[in-house]
């Protein structure tokens, strides 16, 4: 299920599986500063929501508002969100399923310490990968 990036935010459609992501700064609210964005990304690295492969960052979560915050962080650091996919349904407890979102971003971070931080504290699998 692929994403279509649109200037408006709409909830995930269960029929089509398409997810729309806001790209307009005015809709995302106040612009985030790079130090704050870097701290949020570091937190997601430690919690195994964010993994890195070269200049590609992959973020997985069951909370769509976190996908929007991730897009804000990537934009603040000078990157671009490539795609947002609704990839799976995950069981929470015994009786509830939620949608798992995967967001991919291209982020060149020569002046940021995200890559060395991921090498030290990160993992090659997210918390939602099967068999973990």
pLDDT per residue as tens digits for the range 12-59: 444 445 454 544 444 445 688 999 999 999 999 999 999 998 889 999
**Is residue 2 over pLDDT 70?**
no
Question: Residue 98 is encoded by which pair of tokens?
Answer: 């939620």
- How far apart (Å, rounded) are the C-alpha atoms in residues 9 and 22? 5
Other CB atoms within a 10 A radius of the CB of residue 109 amount to 19
- How far apart (Å, rounded) are the C-alpha atoms in residues 13 and 8? 14
Domains of the chain with bracketed CATH:
23-121 (3.10.28.10)
With a pLDDT cut of 90, the percent of the chain lying above it is: 55
| Rg (alpha carbons) of the chain, rounded to whole number | 15
């Amino acid at each position: 299920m692929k994403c279509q990036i649109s200037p408006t935010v709409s909830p995930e459609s269960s029929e089509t599986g398409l997810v729309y992501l806001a790209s307009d700064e005015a809709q995302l609210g106040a612009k985030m500063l790079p130090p704050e964005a870097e701290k949020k990304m570091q937190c997601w690295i430690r919690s195994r929501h964010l993994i890195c492969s070269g200049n590609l960052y992959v973020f997985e979560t069951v909370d769509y508002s976190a996908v929007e915050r991730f897009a804000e962080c990537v934009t603040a650091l000078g990157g671009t969100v490539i795609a947002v996919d609704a990839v799976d349904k995950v069981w929470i407890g015994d009786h509830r399923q939620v949608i798992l979102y995967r967001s991919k971003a291209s982020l060149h971070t020569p002046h940021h310490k995200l890559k060395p931080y991921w090498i030290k504290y990160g993992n090659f699998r997210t918390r939602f990968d099967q068999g973990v």
